[in-house]
């Protein structure tokens, strides 16, 4: 009996072990194959097709021809593309810190336990996120109107002339207000969720040592929020470079302020659907996607270095 147990415990020949390992690997691939197929269909295939389109150009004479990197060379020399890119970069540098700063203050206020009606306040701040972007933009666009909206009504009621939010000088700030109103609650929940997992004993130990609320925030809460802040920042960076819904809808209300190249995404849309320049539109989209990846990775790398 002992010898039989020893025989079973003894490992099999190398060929048998290899077959068992292969079977285990195949079982794993069977589990992930549905996801891999869906991922390739909805993510990799569109990117591959966009890259394919960007290597060709359709001319009136000669039809569609392979041009290699010529479209990319034109994109890097396109003043309209860089105008839109600079606009979203400015939007990113101004709007994202304001939005995340407000989200941080709201999360700290709710987590403090001193805010009356915290649950209702949390739902109220998050509620704009549930409003579709198109509806939110239409609603704010109506309020921005100087002839038919809230601004116009205030002008008539008080006999003043308020600045036009849909003017070329203020349109980017007006879009930033819409985006902040809609997304500050979403980011607040990310930060608030990170605060809820902090061990309460840390607060008790800090209170025993005589630390005040500001000291607790600085020494305990803010370090605990580094990871959540980095995630919220990366999401906000990607969202800023993808800015499209707001300018495309407000263009009908402010045609003199919003051009077809107001943002790179809107520029790619205009090239494709208005100008029928599908190849160059795909090129702009690829360049913008790579730029977004680089900036998001730089933000992540900087956040990891600070955490370290």
How many domains does the chain fold into? 2
Regarding whether 86 and 37 lie in a shared domain, the answer is no
Range of the domain at 226: 77-307
Regarding whether 81 and 58 lie in a shared domain, the answer is no
- Enter the DSSP assignment of 191: H
Does residue 99 lie within any of the structural domains?
yes
* Segments of the chain scoring below 50 in pLDDT: 1-10
How confident is the model at residue 17, as a pLDDT?
66
Kindly report the three-state secondary structure assignment for every residue of 282-298.
Answer: HHHHHHHHHHHHHHHHH
Distance CA 271, CA 266 (A): 9
Regarding whether 242 and 202 lie in a shared domain, the answer is yes
pLDDT tens digits, 14-61? 666 666 666 666 777 778 888 889 989 988 898 999 999 899 888 767
How confident is the model at residue 6, as a pLDDT?
45
pLDDT tens digits, 271-290? 988 878 889 999 999 999 99
How confident is the model at residue 146, as a pLDDT?
84
Pair of tokens at residue 44: 């990799």
How confident is the model at residue 300, as a pLDDT?
84
- Burial class of residue 228 in the structure, from the number of CB atoms within 10 Å of its CB (0-12 exposed, 13-18 middle, 19+ buried): buried
Regarding whether 284 and 209 lie in a shared domain, the answer is yes
How confident is the model at residue 237, as a pLDDT?
92
Regarding whether 121 and 52 lie in a shared domain, the answer is no
Pair of tokens at residue 82: 């860089």
């Amino acid at each position: 009996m002992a010898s039989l147990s020893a025989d079973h415990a003894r490992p099999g020949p190398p060929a048998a072990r290899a077959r068992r390992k292969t079977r285990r690997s195949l079982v794993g691939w069977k589990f992930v194959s549905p996801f891999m197929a869906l991922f390739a269909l909805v993510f990799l295939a569109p990117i591959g097709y966009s890259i394919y389109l960007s290597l060709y150009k359709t001319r009136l004479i000669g039809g569609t021809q392979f041009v290699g990197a010529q479209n990319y060379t034109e994109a890097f020399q396109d003043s309209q593309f860089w105008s839109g890119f600079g606009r979203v970069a400015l939007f990113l540098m101004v709007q994202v810190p304001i939005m995340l700063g407000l989200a941080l203050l709201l999360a700290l206020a709710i987590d403090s336990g001193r805010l009356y009606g915290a649950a209702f306040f949390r739902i109220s701040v998050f509620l704009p996120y549930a409003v579709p972007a198109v509806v939110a933009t239409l609603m704010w666009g109506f309020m921005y109107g100087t002839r038919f909206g809230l601004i116009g009504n205030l002008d008539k009621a008080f006999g003043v002339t308020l600045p036009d939010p849909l003017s070329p000088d203020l349109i980017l700030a007006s879009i930033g207000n819409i985006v902040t109103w809609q997304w500050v609650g979403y980011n607040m929940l990310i930060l608030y969720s990170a605060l809820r997992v902090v061990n309460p004993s840390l607060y008790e130990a800090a209170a025993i040592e005589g630390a005040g609320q500001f000291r607790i925030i600085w020494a305990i809460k803010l370090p605990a929020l580094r990871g959540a802040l980095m995630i919220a920042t990366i999401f906000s960076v990607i969202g800023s470079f993808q800015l499209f819904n707001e300018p495309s809808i407000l263009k009908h209300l402010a045609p003199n302020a919003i051009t077809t190249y107001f943002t790179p995404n809107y520029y790619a849309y205009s090239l494709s659907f208005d100008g029928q320049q599908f190849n160059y539109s795909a090129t702009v989209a690829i360049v913008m996607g790579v730029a977004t990846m680089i900036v998001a990775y730089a933000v992540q790398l900087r956040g990891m270095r600070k955490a370290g």
